[in-house]
Amino acid sequence: MNGEQFSSELVNALRGATRVVALTGAGISAESGVPTFRDAQTGLWSKFRPEELATPEAFQRNPKLVWEWYAMRRARLREVVPNAGHLALAEIERRVPTFLIATQNVDGLHQRAGSRQVLELHGNITRTKCFSEDSPVAEWSETGEVPPRCPRCGGFLRPDVVWFNETLPEEAFAQADAASRACDLFLSVGTSALVYPAASLPLSAKAGGAMVVEINPESTPLTARADHFLRGPSGRLLPALVRAAWPGVSEQLPR
Ligand code: BJW
* Count of other CB atoms within 10 angstroms of residue 160: 21
CA of 163 to the centre of ligand 1 (A): 9
Contacts of 241 (CB under 8 A, 6+ apart): 6, 10, 11, 14, 88, 230
* Ligand 1 contact via 88 beta carbon (within 6 Å): no
| 24, 113 contact by CB (below 8 A) | no
Statement: residue 5 has pLDDT above 90: no
pLDDT of residue 38: 84
Contacts of 39 (CB under 8 A, 6+ apart): 46
Which numbered atom of ligand 1 lies nearest the CA of 50?
52
Q: What is the mean pLDDT of residues 182-192?
A: 98
CA atoms within 13 A on the CB side of 132: 9
CA of 33 to the centre of ligand 1 (A): 19
SS3 145: coil
Statement: residue 58 has pLDDT above 60: yes
Which numbered atom of ligand 1 lies nearest the CA of 217?
75
* Ligand 1 contact via 38 beta carbon (within 6 Å): yes
Statement: residue 4 has pLDDT above 60: no
CA of 164 to the centre of ligand 1 (A): 8
Separation CA 186–CA 179 (nearest Å): 10
* Ligand 1 contact via 26 beta carbon (within 6 Å): yes
Nearest to 142 by CA among 151, 155, 129: 151
Average pLDDT, the chain: 94
pLDDT of residue 2: 46
Statement: residue 213 has pLDDT above 70: yes
pLDDT of residue 1: 41
Instruction: Select the more confidently predicted residue: 44 or 172.
Output: 172
pLDDT digits over 67-77, tens only? 999 999 999 99
Tell me whether residue 122 is one of the annotated catalytic residues: yes
Statement: residue 82 has pLDDT above 90: yes
Specify the pTM. Answer: 0.96
